[in-house]
A and B are shown apart, each in its own frame.
Chain A
Amino acid sequence: MEVKKIAKLAYLIVEEKEFEKEFSAILGYVDKLKEVDVSRAEETANLSCSKNVFREDVEERKETKDILSLMPETKNNYLEVKEVFFENE
């Protein structure tokens, strides 16, 4: 497993060799799943008993001010973010 490359996909910087040894142990352990005969098993991604839960589409949030106050940068009551397009250095 190329730890550095995978970490980059998750926007994480890792040191050289960081995690490598333990990942080979963990992946070695989880590899035992490959022994299981799953030819007749469906996938279970979630256990919810409910299907198609609907609700009225109404605005209910009253805590806008509290949420704004958590934001690192704001301008005129909007969240301010860094520019999305920039020249590669």
Chain B
Amino acid sequence: MSDLTKLTIKELNQGLKAKDFSSEELTLEFLKEIEKKDKDIKAFLTLTSEDALKQAKEADKRIKQGEIDLLTGIPCAIKDNIMIKGVRCTAGSRFLEKYVSPYDATVIKKLKENGAVFLGKTNLDEFAMGSSCENSAFYPTKNPHDLSRVPGGSSGGSAASVAAGMCAYALGSDTGGSIRQPAGFCGIVGLKPTYGSVSRYGLIAFASSLDQIGPMAKSVEDVRIVFDSLKGRDEMDSTSIEANNAEDLKKIRIGVPKEYFGKGLDQSIEKSIREAIAFYEKQGAQISEISLPHTDYALACYYIIAPSEASANLARFDGIRYGKVAEGKNLIDYYFQNRTKGFGTEVKRRIILGTYTLSAGYYDAYYKQALKVRTLIKKDFEKAFEKVDVILGPTSPCLPFKIGEKTDDPLSMYLADIYTVSVNLAGLPAISLPCGESDGLPMGMQLIAPAFKENNLFITAKIFEQKHDNQ
């Protein structure tokens, strides 16, 4: 039984069906693994062991009656900006240190209906703002492959918990790469779905026109299984829609943007991406070089739009209705004291930046300009997808960096998101999957597809994954 924590969702589902083990036994195995490993990795902010065992017993009852869905009885971990009713939800912030979710996020409601087991809530950069998990108000999470390095961010706790076998799968959220980059850094698979394909109700908002919830797991098929259970129209999120993405692909056409191989890309990553391209070519895929001319502006565009939206979304944190962290002489002073004490440095940095880019006199020069560049970035992709089914490139320009290496230089930290942010600006789906290792550190490959064509990603990613399984 010792290797249950290494199995995929599909394998676990088969085992539960065949009664090789129960959900309770499986849950206990994961809890044991957490107890053993998480004192070093620190992926979890809150453990819900008792609830998990109750949910596992319920799942076992369902299984006994033959009512087993693919996710029934399978233990997962949830990023701590997604609400589970009755469980603390901090978003990695002091402000919400004692906040207990009064309701379930829609994705949680859906997983509960499938009989999922929730082991706990995972660490993140405060309000999902960061690329390393070091901006958590509580503690940084470590990369399971090398404890001196970051797991990526902001969904670093979710990525590390999957990579270390402390859960079968996890949910993350992705505003500029927060699922894909940590998936790449931790050697797992992570999907950022199309904007609107998964409900955001119950996700603590960072930048509402960019945020998406998505799955992180050990295999492409697992990610697909979880995505299928999350997606769909939800009345509580008016941007969510029902989309049918079951189309097949006959001959895969892959586009490789020449702009993705510029300076700043780690050589070992470039080498493994080039090898992946050669592999696809050998498999009969049609490879063509494409151009996304506005790539160089995506990061600048993102770092105006995301902070602008964040400054508005985070105005609600004033300590009045919840999250009081300080006293004040009067109402205005109360706002100042609470917001100054409640937010960490990176969150303040982005609120001030966003307040600036939205302020009178700068709105046109920064925010409006960024919205127009966003249109051009979106059009670049639309044009490229007239000729290709997926776009292939690296997930991150660098390998997992050392804890503390980039904390003093926010701009160099932002550059870690260079390949991922444009996907959010354009609202497209993208997947990161492992494409090798360099000195024992995982590398990620990113595939991008047209809106609502997640299936293109699954089909293309599986071909590559099988190659690695066979080696």
Contacts and interface: CB of A to CB of B under 8 A. Distances in A.
Interface of A: 1, 3, 6-7, 9-14, 19, 22-23, 25-26, 29-34, 36, 38, 41-50, 53, 55, 63, 66-67, 69-72, 79, 81-84, 86, 89
Given A12-B339, A33-B304, A72-B320, A25 B375 contact: no
A41 B300 contact: no
Nearest to A55: B235
A77 B403 CA distance: 46
Contacts of B319: 72
Contacts of B322: 70-72
B353 interface: yes
Given A22-B410, A33-B300, A48 B343 contact: no
Contacts, number: 156
Nearest to A82: B331
A33 B298 CA distance: 9
Q: Which 3 A-B pairs have the closest CB atoms?
A: A47-B427, A66-B102, A43-B371
B372 interface: yes
A44 B374 contact: yes
16 contacts: A7-B352, A12-B336, A19-B349, A22-B409, A23-B352, A25-B411, A29-B300, A30-B370, A33-B304, A36-B372, A41-B372, A41-B375, A46-B208, A46-B209, A47-B209, A50-B239
Contact of A81 (B320, B351, B411): B320
A29 B375 contact: no
Contacts of B304: 30, 33
A6 B330 contact: no
Contacts of B330: 82-83, 86
B303 interface: yes
Contacts of A30: 300, 303-304, 366, 370
A11 B303 contact: no
Nearest to B331: A82
